Amino acid sequence: MRAASGQALGTAGSEQSALLLGWRRYVPEAIGLVLFLVLVDHLYFDGTRFAWIAPRPFWIPIILISAQYGLAGGVFATLASTLALYSSALPSQLATQDYYAYSRLVVAEPTAWLACALVLGGLRSLHIFHAAELRQQRDDALQEGEILGRGLSDAMAEIARLELRIASETQTLGAVAQAFGRLDAGDAPRPAASLAELGRLLIGASAITLYGHGPEGFAALAVAGDGASRDHVGIPPLDDGTVQALRQTPDLVWRRDRVADAERMPAGAILAIGIPAPDRSGPLGLILVERLLPSRTLAAAAAQARDVARGVAGLLGRVER
């Protein structure tokens, strides 16, 4: 409410300043009209300022300027007409007139002109202020409409993106459900392959390899992605140096975009996540991400892979047994 009141006061103040600065227009116009009447009086009549005409033509500039420019213009036109009326000489005082009667005669017409300027010019000034306020309200409404239009466009674009995201996640959740449905604790290779496929879907990878701790080091348990064309049996186990280096990493995560990690990461991998052991003695296994989906970033995949590794940690022990 305070902001609206301040805006209204600011609008009224600016319009009042505009009215006061309008003297550049009504001053020359009023002077020009009055001088034109004086010139006509001198050229075509007797130069008595239209004393034989009632009402005098000096009403014309007062009415026009008041109706056009408001109170200030009307008062100035009244002043100019009064100066023109008595610029040559004041009306003569009769012998039978006292001072008060003569004063009433002198100021009668200028007073009538001033009253007309105050009434007509005041109404015109109010009209100007009200018109300015309506213009300001119209401009504010147009501006708010543009803001609402842009907001609606942004909202529609966001809704479209959410629809695409929901459709994509629905497909992913369907694949995850299928992967869970294939889990079979009675057959070790099948749970490992299902876990690998589940991890690939959650991470957003196109190809991963799941490693588990075995007698010869970290051996490949399953591969997932790219049609699972590779056989995990033919994949050599990870060497002890790689395992020891991963064990010394605080968060058990290697990323290809970090120079220190890239030097220790197995060839062809872009992300390596250790599966933590329950006793925190070291990694229980390893998820090796070789490729990501085009819509997945490495940072987002790394964050999701940590959650996947913690979930797989509870199941990988049973898979190895």
Query: Does residue 177 register a pLDDT over 50?
Result: no
Torsion angle of C-alpha atoms 219, 191, 296, 293, degrees rounded to 10: 80
3-state secondary structure of 239: coil
| Domains of the chain and CATH, by start | 2-145 (no CATH), 187-320 (3.30.450.40)
Residue (of 291, 292, 298, 236) closest to 268 by Cα position: 291
Look at residue 184 in the predicted model and tell me its pLDDT.
45
pLDDT tens for 4-54 read 444 444 554 555 555 555 778 889 999 999 999 989 988 888 777 787 777
Residue (of 195, 172, 138) closest to 316 by Cα position: 195
pLDDT tens for 59-70 read 999 999 999 998
- Is there a contact between 209 and 223 (Cβ–Cβ < 8 Å)? yes
pLDDT tens for 88-110 read 766 666 666 676 777 777 888 89
pLDDT tens for 108-142 read 889 999 999 999 999 999 998 999 899 999 999 99
**Mean pLDDT within 276-289:** 72
Is the entire prediction scored with pTM above 0.75? no
Of the candidate ranges 155-169, 175-189, 265-279, the one whose mean pLDDT is the lowest: 175-189
To which H or E segment does residue 219 belong?
strand 217-225
